[in-house]
Chain A
Amino acid sequence: MTNPAVQTVEAERRERWRARIEESILPPLVALLIAAVVGDILIIIFGQSPGEVFRQLLEGTWGNAYGFGQVIYKATTLTFTGLAVAIGIRAGLFNIGAESQLASGGFLAALVGLWLPAGTPAVIAILLCMVAAGAGGGVVGAIPGALKARFGASEVIVTIMLNFVVLALLNYIVAAHIHVAETLHTPEMHVGSVPRLTAVSALFAGSAANATFLLAIAAAVAVWWYLFRTRPGYELRAVGLQPDAAEYGGVHVGAVWARTMILSGALAGLGGLNYVLGYKHYYEEGFGTGSGFLGIAVALVGRNHPVGVIIAALLFATLSQGGLAVNALVPKQMVDVLTAVVIIAVATSVPEVRRALANARRARGTGNREPETTVNPGPSSQFPVPGSQP
């Protein structure tokens, strides 16, 4: 079995895997390193010791039961918004509307929970709430999707503008029609709440973590299956890589765009369940503020892969909860700065790392192939160019 041809193929395959791993892991690592340095500088400016701050940050998150539960809780929402952004980027679309899709999903779920009579079986109630959340987010996602498919309107601008419109609309409905007096939230729903993990195990001591995190994992698996094992998922990725080629190959690009935006919105909408079904049992204005934008960071650092998204969601949830844990030492706003630095650094280092790796490979003499075309962990339009498509 010493067929040289087989050996070459084997070696090539190994080489390709290695390149793939390098390319997907290195940029986030570089970014985290840069963020750590910036974090150190900020901490020193504030007159504290970086070592102490990072120690407390870890202790306040993974170091105790409550902190750990809170990390899980926050990571659940971020997994949904991260998946929403990631699936969009895979199709070459930039969904910046996760913020309002999340809110509208949570809002509809809370409404359904409110409308259902008190005796509705839990399974049915939860299922209906899930459908409502998905539909709430999906409808908001459908608007930019349809406008993009029909008129070529930039989904970036439309989703940004829609964020303001949808949030103002929800604000109006809640404030004018169904809020509890003196508050900004709807009445508590009668049915449809899911158990908190703290009820199941002492491991989560009083934190907001709840069974919705199972749904988040299921969603990640489903997205993986859809993207890499189904025909529509293949079309989606083809459109993300090269819309013209996909069109030529018989894919209806506009339909894929519309479909993907609906899916993306629905995923973000499901994220609203975490707060509404799992935590407070009502819709409150601003419950998910920032989660949509953090989803962009999660998708980027997770390299638009479901597994990466879960890991990145845990990372940013840790940062966000850790910010609270160290607030006595340094302002928790440091975390916002670090998040932004991570995003900028990943976005910047993706092309740079790719170039550096290509150079290194060429220097080793193994890379006489075109690295950009053979190795591609994400769409080559990793960051799609809005408005570049017809």
Chain B
Amino acid sequence: MIAFLIQTLRIAVPYLFAAAGGIVSERAGVIALTLEGFMLTGAFCAALGSYYSGSPWVGIITGVIGGMVAALLHALATIRYRADQVVVGIAMNLLAVGVTRFFLRLAFDSSSNSPRIPGFGVSDVQSGVFSSLANPLVWLGIITMAAVAWLLYRTPFGLRVRAAGEKPEAALSVGVPVKRVRWLAVVVSGACASMAGAYLALDQHQFTDGMTAGRGFIALAAVIFGKWDPKRVTIACVLFAAAETMQIRLQSLQLVPSQFVEMIPYVLTIVALAGVVGRAAQPAALGKAVD
């Protein structure tokens, strides 16, 4: 049972990081389709930093820098130049895939994975269950989500973020620099999501091509399913992770085909959007550019 909980936690960590970023970005009015791309960029940059410096801590820093640079590009296109957030968001994900592959070949001369890098986790799965608690990023993930909740509801910046996402015109009229707030929110989301990527790379001791494998979208699903509220989003993340853990543990029993377990987050999100279990109301100005 404890092993089950720990494994769930381990799977939930990247969701927590990325979803925390997603909440900040979406509450500020910028659609978080880019989480996947930020994660992948973060994972790759973390692998680079960790490999060349020999320290996973440096990897975290380079990973976060990478994610923030990607986020700056996204902010530049969507906020400064008012390009459509969906279009640019999808392109950012393609860009992350392309750029990481390109530089994977340039840096490590491989089209599939990096060499082994210094990391935190123990790659052996059995003994890794408990030792993963020694991974500082696990705790950081939990703290990040709590910090986002505090930021949103207990700080002036959080109030501005929410204003920028709900009623940007009203915020502007009382002097909130909506554009700057959105810039900051997007960069914060880039930093959070890239930590999720860094966690994956440092936990598995290498970067593999496309290693985020849709986790950014599961995080986005958690944000929507959790109605943009940190507490509920946390529950959604843990729920999705628990389903995955269950599937891994029961694999040998063949109770439910793994594909159906994979679908759970996405189906739940669609159901939530359709309003079957209480209408999921998104931030009113989500996706709208401001002048």
B99 contacts partner chain A, Cβ-Cβ < 8 Å: yes
Interface residues on chain B, number (Cβ under 8 Å): 46
B274 contacts partner chain A, Cβ-Cβ < 8 Å: yes
Contact A344:B77 (CB < 8 A) given known A151-B274, A157-B269, A164-B214: yes
Interchain CB contact under 8 A, A293 and B106: no
Q: Which B residues lie within 8 Å of A344 (CB)?
A: 73, 77, 83, 87-88, 91-92, 95
B181 contacts partner chain A, Cβ-Cβ < 8 Å: no
Q: Which A residues lie within 8 Å of B105 (CB)?
A: 331, 333
Q: Which B residues lie within 8 Å of A96 (CB)?
A: 86, 90
A270 contacts partner chain B, Cβ-Cβ < 8 Å: no
- Distance of A334 Cα from B97 Cα, bound (Å): 10
Shortest Cβ gap from A315 to chain B (Å): 16
- Give residues of chain A (333-360) contacting chain B, Cβ–Cβ below 8 Å: 333-341, 343-344, 347-348, 350-352
- Give residues of chain B (180-199) contacting chain A, Cβ–Cβ below 8 Å: none
Q: Which B residues lie within 8 Å of A153 (CB)?
A: 270, 273-275
Interface residues on chain A, number (Cβ under 8 Å): 53
Interchain CB contact under 8 A, B82 and A351: yes
Q: Which B residues lie within 8 Å of A156 (CB)?
A: 31, 33, 86
Interchain CB contact under 8 A, B94 and A336: yes
Contact A165:B98 (CB < 8 A) given known A296-B87, A387-B282: no
Interchain CB contact under 8 A, B83 and A339: no
Instruction: Kindly identify which residue among A154, A160, A347 contacts B88, using a CB–CB cutoff of 8 Å.
Output: A347
Q: Which B residues lie within 8 Å of A94 (CB)?
A: 86
Interchain CB contact under 8 A, A293 and B94: yes
B224 contacts partner chain A, Cβ-Cβ < 8 Å: yes
Interchain CB contact under 8 A, A343 and B266: no
Which chain B residue shows the least CB distance to A153?
B273
Shortest Cβ gap from B233 to chain A (Å): 15
Chain B 259-278 near chain A by CB (<8 Å), digits 1 or 0 = 11011001101100111000
Shortest Cβ gap from A151 to chain B (Å): 5
Instruction: Kindly identify which residue among A150, A157, A343 contacts B91, using a CB–CB cutoff of 8 Å.
Output: A343
Shortest Cβ gap from B167 to chain A (Å): 14
- Give residues of chain B (68-109) contacting chain A, Cβ–Cβ below 8 Å: 73, 77, 81-84, 86-88, 90-92, 94-95, 97-99, 101-102, 105-106
Contact A351:B81 (CB < 8 A) given known A172-B260, A340-B95: yes
- Give residues of chain B (182-233) contacting chain A, Cβ–Cβ below 8 Å: 214, 217, 220-221, 224
Beyond A147-B274, A165-B267, 19 additional pairs, beta carbon < 8 A: A94-B86, A160-B220, A164-B217, A333-B101, A334-B102, A336-B97, A337-B102, A338-B98, A339-B94, A339-B98, A341-B95, A343-B90, A343-B94, A344-B87, A347-B88, A350-B83, A384-B84, A385-B84, A386-B287
Q: List 9 tightest A-B contacts by C-beta distance, closest first.
A: A383-B84, A336-B98, A340-B95, A343-B91, A333-B101, A337-B98, A172-B259, A347-B83, A153-B273
Would you give 10 A-B contacts (Cβ < 8 Å), ordered by A? A147-B273, A164-B262, A165-B270, A168-B259, A168-B262, A176-B257, A333-B98, A343-B94, A344-B83, A386-B287
